């Protein structure tokens, strides 16, 4: 009798081993080894997982949600419960929906159900991924692309434009994948540089797609204003600074966020909590099983170290004066700090530049983006890359984008591929505004 593998429930997510055609062997041990070597990796599923938007009205309700987040591995919180008046998005696995619903009604917590079966979104999203054998000549912004496809496209750009494009490899990740980006330089004298980091959170696929759109526009746009922008700066753009996590979001778990470092029974450090500025002081966890685990020490992760080393080496020689970080979702344009309400020295300039960038998006596509400091705008968080770059390297123009969708998005990080081009187009227009407004204020002199 053929024994079929059973689904495995781990940390509230169902992993279903793939069952292919049966093969027969004479030795049981060898049969087991063959099955292990031939079977694809298990893939997380979110069948009947619901997405809730809850609004916390009282301190008691805040305390209930804090206790739930700490105790449950079946409820995924997008942010932490902190204060009355706060809205939270919470992902609840199917077998806990009844318990969660009971909790909401028992404590009279206002809520909406945004999605009743999250796996349907994921299944549709995977169908929007270009095949791995897609030639670099067919790279586009109508589909999502895996890591090797992105790197292949970058290398093609270098071959096609050797006088402008240089592929950069800043070192290997935790699992030995290269962290690659490009430098775009059209040859101007004494230029300042823009550094763009993307994909530090693996599940935010729209971020690498937007970064590659930026590269394409800077290289190929015929628009005179874009051509002037491209030539006004040198550009360092890294589409995926968390390559292990990004790869795993295609092969293992679409909702994976962290890198893939192992810590006993759990994996991963949130690299955007791992930088050495007020490390692990707020909005981060010391538990490696949590989504925002800040790591065993500040700058413990090789991916963090690679970014830091590159910037420390090049911030002066390349005159890096702008640092941009691409994330999703919530439609925000934010500047430092995340760990404190203390205002940076150029708060007024960043506030106004962010406001103008958001206004440019609304004019272009009608989408509403909010701008402000990270601490004021989204939630307190420490150990972020942009805060470190601003504070420690004195990079004055520092912004984080939370791209589409809106804060109460039903899709969260699972943005349809039809949204890639409009999302990237509006973000690029905002970047153009940021650079132009910073130049007007003398930041690039």
Q: Could you list the active site residues? A: 402
Residue 443, by phi and psi: left (phi above 0), alpha (psi -120 to 50) or beta?
A: alpha
Contacts of 42 (CB under 8 A, 6+ apart): 8, 15, 16, 17, 18, 252
For 328, the enclosing helix (H) or strand (E) is strand 320-328
Gap between the Cα atoms of 151 and 139, Å rounded = 11
Gap between the Cα atoms of 311 and 313, Å rounded = 5
Gap between the Cα atoms of 400 and 423, Å rounded = 15
DSSP 8-42: EEETTEEEE---------S-HHHHHHHHHHHSPPP
Residue that is written with structure tokens 């090789």 in the block: 302
DSSP 147-203: HHHHHHHHHHHHHH-TTTEEEEEEEE-TTS-EEEEEEE----SS-EEEEEEE-SSTT
Gap between the Cα atoms of 32 and 44, Å rounded = 22
Residue that is written with structure tokens 């979110």 in the block: 46
Q: What's the DSSP call for residue 273?
A: G
Alpha-carbon distances, residue 110 vs 88, 101, 324, 383 (angstroms): 11, 11, 36, 32
Contact 322/402 with Cβ under 8 angstroms?
no
SS3 label, residue 315: coil
445: how many CB neighbours lie within 10 A of its CB?
7
Residue that is written with structure tokens 């093969």 in the block: 23
- Secondary structure (H, E, C), 334-387: EECCCCCCCCCCCHHHHHHHHHHHHHHHHHHHCCCCEEEEHHHHCCCCCCCHHH
């Amino acid at each position: 009798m053929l024994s079929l593998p059973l689904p495995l429930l781990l940390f509230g997510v169902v992993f279903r081993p793939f069952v292919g055609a049966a093969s027969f062997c004479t030795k049981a041990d060898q049969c087991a080894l063959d099955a292990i070597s031939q079977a694809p990796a298990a893939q997380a599923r979110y069948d009947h997982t619901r997405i809730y938007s809850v609004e916390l009205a009282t301190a008691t309700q805040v305390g209930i949600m804090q206790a739930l987040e700490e105790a449950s591995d079946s409820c995924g919180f997008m942010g932490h419960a902190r204060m009355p008046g706060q809205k939270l998005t919470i992902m609840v696995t199917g077998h806990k929906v009844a318990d969660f619903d009971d909790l909401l009604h028992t404590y009279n917590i206002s809520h909406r159900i945004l999605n009743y079966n999250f796996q349907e979104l994921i299944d549709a999203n995977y169908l929007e991924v270009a095949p791995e054998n897609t030639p670099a000549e067919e790279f586009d912004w109508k589909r999502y692309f895996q890591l090797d496809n992105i790197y292949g496209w970058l290398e093609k750009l270098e071959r096609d434009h050797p006088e402008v494009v240089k592929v950069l490899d800043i070192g290997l990740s935790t699992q030995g994948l290269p962290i690659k980006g490009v430098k775009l330089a059209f040859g101007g004298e004494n230029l300042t540089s823009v550094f763009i980091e993307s994909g530090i959170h693996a599940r935010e696929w729209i971020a690498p797609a937007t970064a590659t759109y930026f590269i394409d526009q800077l290289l190929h746009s015929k628009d005179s204003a874009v051509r002037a922008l491209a030539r006004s700066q040198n550009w360092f753009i890294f589409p995926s600074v968390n390559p292990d996590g990004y790869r795993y979001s295609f092969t293992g778990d679409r909702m994976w966020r962290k890198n893939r470092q192992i810590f006993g029974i759990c994996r991963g450090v949130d690299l955007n909590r791992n930088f050495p500025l007020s490390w692990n002081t707020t909005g981060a966890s010391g538990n490696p099983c949590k989504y925002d685990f800040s790591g065993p020490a500040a700058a413990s992760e090789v991916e963090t170290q690679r970014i830091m080393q590159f910037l420390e080496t090049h911030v002066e020689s390349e005159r890096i004066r702008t640092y941009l970080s691409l994330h999703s979702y919530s439609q925000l344009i934010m500047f430092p700090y995340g760990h404190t309400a203390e205002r940076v020295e150029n708060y007024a300039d960043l506030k106004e530049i962010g406001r103008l960038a958001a206004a440019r998006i609304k004019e272009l596509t009608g989408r509403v983006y909010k701008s402000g400091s990270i601490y004021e705008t989204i939630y307190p968080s420490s150990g972020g890359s942009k805060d470190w770059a601003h504070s420690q390297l004195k990079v004055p123009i520092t912004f984080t984008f939370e791209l589409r969708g809106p804060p109460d998005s039903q899709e969260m990080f699972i943005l349809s591929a039809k949204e890639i081009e409009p999302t990237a187009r509006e973000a690029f227009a905002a970047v153009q505004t940021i650079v132009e407004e910073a130049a007007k204020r003398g930041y690039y002199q």
